[in-house]
């Protein structure tokens, strides 16, 4: 995987972030979702490099080979604001002060926080298979609760760790033929690590508590995304079935919203890398303010 890319473990203060990076040109950072690692981008990243971009793929705080701080009752160490700070620190370490952001699934929540908290750093933002957390929570239906029950299970203290670590291969099911063997092996190693499992749960616990509060504060302050936003969703996943056109919801948060569905399941980077890359390269035009 990632032929021609470099990798590093970067100390960003209270966290240590594993990152892969390569290419030359306008920088774009790719943020994975749960329970993946940066390896999920192994088919997309080289295509973006070939299209003329510098590509940076970190493991989110606590996921994969990245490590975060000790766990606390308020879950602040695993808030999307904290993880967004990691991304800015990593990009600055690599020499990039303004960049595009692509966030899939939980990575989309980090991308949102970046766009709202660090508008000077984010030139364009892409949200793939995600909505703001508060938009999900304000639309809870029987269908949502049935299909997304894991959000609320993960929020429980202690029990999810015990259930998941008892048999992680049964809980986290992956297919090496779909994922690619090396990606699968990296993912499987991560999900069998009890510290990684706990950190991934803290991501969800933060989502229902401190992250929700941050988004509510944004709405009260009428804070909006300043840069262009591309919204992509998987046609064989449930986002459109639950909510209709996701662009309509994202328009509550940004003025410049465009996008479309892609014919694949939830893990678009693994299942439809060419279609995803085509959508990204059509959107990620050179940023005129980049220096």
| pLDDT at residue 287, as a whole number | 46
Q: What is the structure's pLDDT at 58?
A: 98
Active site residues: 105, 266
pLDDT for position 113: 98
Taking the C-alpha atoms of residue 111 and residue 101, their distance in angstroms, rounded to an integer, is 6
What pLDDT does residue 289 have? 47
- Distances 44 to 10, 224, 281 between C-alpha atoms, Å: 23, 29, 11
Task: Report DSSP letters for 57-74, one per residue.
Answer: EEPPTTSTT-B-----TT
Q: Say what the pLDDT of residue 286 is.
A: 57
Q: Which pLDDT belongs to residue 288?
A: 45
> Rounded to the nearest 5°, which phi and psi values hold at 11?
-80, 120
pLDDT in the model for residue 290: 42
Domains of the chain by start residue, with CATH: 6-281 (3.40.50.1820)
CA dihedral 250, 251, 254, 258 (to 10 degrees): 80
Q: Is the pTM of this model over 0.85?
A: yes
Q: State how far the Cα of 37 lies from the Cα of 200, in Å rounded to an integer.
A: 11
Tally of CB atoms within 10 A around 178: 12
Residue 238's contacts (CB-CB under 8 Å, 6 or more residues apart) are: 147
The CB-based long-range contact list for 172-175 (8 Å cut-off, 24+ gap) reads 172/35
Token pair listed for 70: 């000790």
| Helical H segments across 77-180, by residue range | 80-93, 106-117, 133-137, 142-147, 150-154, 159-166, 168-171, 176-179
**Per-10-residue mean pLDDT for the chain, 291 residues long?**
97 96 97 98 98 97 97 97 98 97 98 97 98 96 92 95 95 94 97 97 97 98 97 96 96 97 97 98 69 33
């Amino acid at each position: 995987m990632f032929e021609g890319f470099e990798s590093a473990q970067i100390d960003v203060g209270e966290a240590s972030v594993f990152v892969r990076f390569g290419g030359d040109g306008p920088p774009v950072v790719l943020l994975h979702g749960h329970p993946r690692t940066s390896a999920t981008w192994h088919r997309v990243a080289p295509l973006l490099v070939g299209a003329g971009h510098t590509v940076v793929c970190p493991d989110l705080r606590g996921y994969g080979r990245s490590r975060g701080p000790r766990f606390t009752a308020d879950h602040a160490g695993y808030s999307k604001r904290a993880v967004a700070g990691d991304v800015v620190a990593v990009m600055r370490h690599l020499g990039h002060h303004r960049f595009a952001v692509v966030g899939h699934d939980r990575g989309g929540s980090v991308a949102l926080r970046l766009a709202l908290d660090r508008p000077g750093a984010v030139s364009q933002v892409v949200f793939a298979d995600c909505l703001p957390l508060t938009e999900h929570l304000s639309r809870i239906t029987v269908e949502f609760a049935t299909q997304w029950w894991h959000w609320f299970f993960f929020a429980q203290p202690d029990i999810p760790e015990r259930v998941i670590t008892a048999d992680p291969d049964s809980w986290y099911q992956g297919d090496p033929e779909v994922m690619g063997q090396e990606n699968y092996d990296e993912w499987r190693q991560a999900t069998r690590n009890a510290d990684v499992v706990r950190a991934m749960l803290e991501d969800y616990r933060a989502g229902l508590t401190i992250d929700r509060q941050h988004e509510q504060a944004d709405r009260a302050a009428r804070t909006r995304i300043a840069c262009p936003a591309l919204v992509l969703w998987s046609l064989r996943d449930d986002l459109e079935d639950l909510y209709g056109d996701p662009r309509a919801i994202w328009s509550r948060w940004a003025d410049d919203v465009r996008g479309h569905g892609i014919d694949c399941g939830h893990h678009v980077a693994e299942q439809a890398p060419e279609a995803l890359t085509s959508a990204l390269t059509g959107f990620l035009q050179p940023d005129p303010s980049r220096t």
